[in-house]
Structure 1
Amino acid sequence: MKSISEQIAKRQIDSLPLIQNYTCILIRNSSNYKVHGTGVFIKIGHLHLLISAAHVFDDFNELFIPLDNGENLMKPGGRIIVNNPKSSRDNDELDIGIVILDEVTINEIIRTYNFLDENSLLINHRNNYSYNYIIWGYPSSWSKRSISKKSFHSRPFIHFTKCANPIEYQRLNRYKFLNLIVNYDRQNILNFKSKKFSYGPDLFGISGCGLWYINPEDYNENANPKLVGIMTDWPISNRRKLIATRIDAVTEFLRKNENINFPESYLFSIK
C-alpha cells in the first residue's frame, strides 16, 4: 500500500500532461521567436479566456502563440483587460492580464490546447506548507527555433514546491489575501529528461504560468490539479522565492464586470 506522500507524488506526475494542455508559450514577435511569457487557457461560463501576467500583456500586440508542435504561429485576438499599477509594474502586487478570446482564436486554440474548466479553479485557498504545488512555465533560456525543421521548441520548467514562510509576505511587500509566495530551490531542480537534480534556469519567460495545487486530503487518484494562482514575479531581492497572484483576482473581476455566475471569494473583492 502506497504512503500518502507516494500517492501525492504519483498524482503530481499524472497531472503534468493535463497542465501542459492548458498552458501556452507567448512569443513576443515572429522573427526571432523570443519567449516573452506563458499563459493559461480557462473557460468560465460562456467565456474562453487566456490568462497571464499583466506585464506580459503590456506587449500584447506583439505576441504570438505556437500551434501544431511549434510549426505554426497564431496571433491571438479578443478583448484584453489588464490592471494599471499605482506606480510601476515592479511594484504591482496584482499584475494580472485577461484576454476574452474571440471565436476565430478559440477555433485555432482548440487544435492544440484545451480550456481548463471553471470547476478546477480553486478560490479561497488556505496555504499548504507541504510539497503540494506545481509550477509549469516556459523559460526563454530553454527555448529555441529550429531552422532545419522550421519550427519552435521549448522545454518546460516543472517545479514541485511549497508555500514560503508567512514572514516573507512582509519582506517582499505582498499580501496573503491576494498573493501566494512559494519556494524556488534553484540548486535542486529535477531534470525530467535526465531524471537527476540539477541547477535551475533563469526564470524569465514563465511569468503568467499557473500555480497548481494537489489536495492531499482528496484521496481520489483521478482528482485533477486545481489552479490556485498565476505566477507573476521572481523578486530580485530574493531569488529563492516566487510570487503568484491568487486566481480569486481573476474570478472576482469577471464576476463584477462580466456578470459570470461563479462563487464569490471571501478573501477580497474587486469594485
Structure 2
Amino acid sequence: MVTLYVIAALAVLLPLAIGALPATGPGRRLARRLSDSAAVRRIGEALTGLVDTLGRPGAALVVLFAWISAVVAVFWPIGELMHSLENAVDRPVLTWIATRRNASFEEFNWFYTALGDRYPLKWVTVVGAVVFAVLWRRRFWIPLVAILGQFAVEQYVQAVIAGMVDRGHPPTGLGTYPSGGIARICMVFGTLALFAVLTWRIGRRGQVALGTLVLLLATYEGYSRLYTQKHWLTDVISGLAFGPVLFLGFAVAVGVLAGRVGAPHRAMELVA
C-alpha cells in the first residue's frame, strides 16, 4: 500500500520536475539551440512554402493529416509490442494493485479519473471554444474550429489505433490502447493553454507553467486509471507518449492556421 502512495507522489513530483527543465539554465539554453538549429529553420522554410502554395487553412490540414499518419504508423507497432507484454507485465501489475488498494484513496482516484472522461471534457471543450471565439473577434472561426476539432482528432485517431491493435481491455475496466483519458487531457487542456498563449502576452515562465500543469494533469490521470484498474499498465505508458506527441503536431497545425508558424526561424515557436 505504501508503494502505491509513493508512486502517486512521483506522479505529481516528476511532471513538476520535468516541466521546470525548460525554465532552468541548461534547459533554457537547449531550447534556444533547438529553436535556432538548421533543422528547425528548414522546417520553417518548408512550412512557408506550403503556406504560399496552399494558403494557411490548406497548409494546416496537410500538416495535421501528415502528422496523424505518422502517429498511427508509430503507435501501431508499439501497440503490438505492448500487447505481447500483457501476460508478463500487465496481468501481474493488475493483480498486485488489486491487493493493495485503500478504500478512501480509491474513492479519490475514482473522482479524479473522471476528469479524462469524454462527457466532462466535452463541456470544457465547448466552453473554451466559445470563450476564445469571443476573444478573437473577427478571427473567431480559428479557435472555434481548432478547439472543437481537437476533440474529434483525439477520439478518432485513438479509435483507429485501438482498432488496429485490437488488444482488448482488462477484466476490471473498459480501457483500450492507448489510454484515451490521458490523451484527451493532453489535447483539451493543451489546446486551451495554446490559445491562452496565442491570445495574451504570456512570458516564458507562464508558458512553462501552463505546460507543466497540463503534464501534471495527464500524468496523474494515468496513475488514477491504473489505481482504479480501468487500464493495463502498458495502455497508460503508451498514453503518456501518445497524448503529448499527438498534441505536438496539432499545435504546429494550429500555429500555421493562426499565422504564428510558417516563417523561417519560427516553425517551432509554439512548442519550443
Aligning the two structures, in what range does the TM-score lie when normalised by the shorter sequence?
A: under 0.3
From the two aligned structures, give the one with the greater helix fraction: 2
TM-score, length basis structure 2? 0.24
TM-score, length basis structure 1? 0.24
The higher relative CO (CA closer than 8 Å, separation ≥ 6) is in: 2
Larger Rg: 2
